[in-house]
Amino acid sequence: MQLPATSRWLAAASVPGGVLLVLAWSIPAGFLLPNLFATDVRTVAGPPSDFVLVSQWLTLGFAVVFACAAVPAIAMAARVGWVGALGAVLYAVGVVFLAVQQLFAITSTSAVVPWHWLVVPALLSFGAALFGLAAFRSGALPRGAALLLAFIQPTALFGVAGPDAGAALFGTDFGLAASTWLRMYGYLGMFGVAGAWVWLGSAVWRRAPGPAPSLRTVTT
């Protein structure tokens, strides 16, 4: 299947978008690393406010690039059915909401977004799982990348906020809220998310572009 050159370029945006995501999560991961053997991650000091702001800007950049370019282009090339298309839409909506959240956080530390904090993790997790599994079944793009995305996005988000989500939904943190290793897995898992999308986007980029539309097309 040949793709228009525009779609290939949009899919290639997954590379700078993935780099932004890695840089964003490198900040909390770097500050947690020296305290990896702490008994309770909740007692570990996070990055200073200046570093948090940098991470928020990097995350905003990732969200904009993926919502506007990478996700639609990769989904188009993946030749997934309606389930995969639904997953791509959920993911794209999730990164739009993520971008808005980052803007709120950047402009005012006291700003509160008008939706539940679990909306974005849910959209990204379900979207990645549905799209990744559909792309794996389709086989139009590397199946390893599709399977990695379907697995790593939900589990990485669980590593970052899963215990808090469990407490909010079920009244228990499953005894995992203090785990430093689980939190670090969540941070590093975001590197896997970036890698999966870059893998998918690079596969789209390597395809030969389709022929340009002819102005001499004759209709009958």
pLDDT range class, residue 171, cuts 50, 70, 90: confident
Q: What is the mean pLDDT of residues 181-192?
A: 95
Q: Is residue 214 in some structural domain?
A: no
Q: Which domain holds residue 22?
A: 5-205
Single pTM value for the model: 0.88
Q: How many domains does the chain have?
A: 1
Mean confidence (pLDDT) of the chain? 89
Given a cut of 50, whether residue 217 has pLDDT beyond it is no
Beta-sheet strands, E only, within the chain: none
Q: Is residue 213 in some structural domain?
A: no
CA atoms of 174 and 185, how far apart (whole Å): 17
Q: Is residue 92 in some structural domain?
A: yes
pLDDT > 90 fraction of the chain, expressed in percent and rounded? 67
Q: Is residue 75 in some structural domain?
A: yes
pLDDT range class, residue 208, cuts 50, 70, 90: low
Helices (H) and strands (E) in the chain, counts: 8, 0
Q: Is residue 220 in some structural domain?
A: no
Q: Is residue 156 in some structural domain?
A: yes
Read off the pLDDT of residues 82-135 as tens digits, 9 standing for 90 and up. 999 999 999 999 999 999 999 999 988 777 788 888 899 999 999 999 999 999
Q: Is 187 in contact with 160 (CB distance < 8 Å)?
A: yes
More confident residue, 53 or 42: 53
Q: Give residue 88's identity as a one-letter amino acid code.
A: A
Q: Is residue 211 in some structural domain?
A: no
Q: Is residue 47 in some structural domain?
A: yes
Q: How many CB atoms lie within 10 A of CB 18?
A: 26
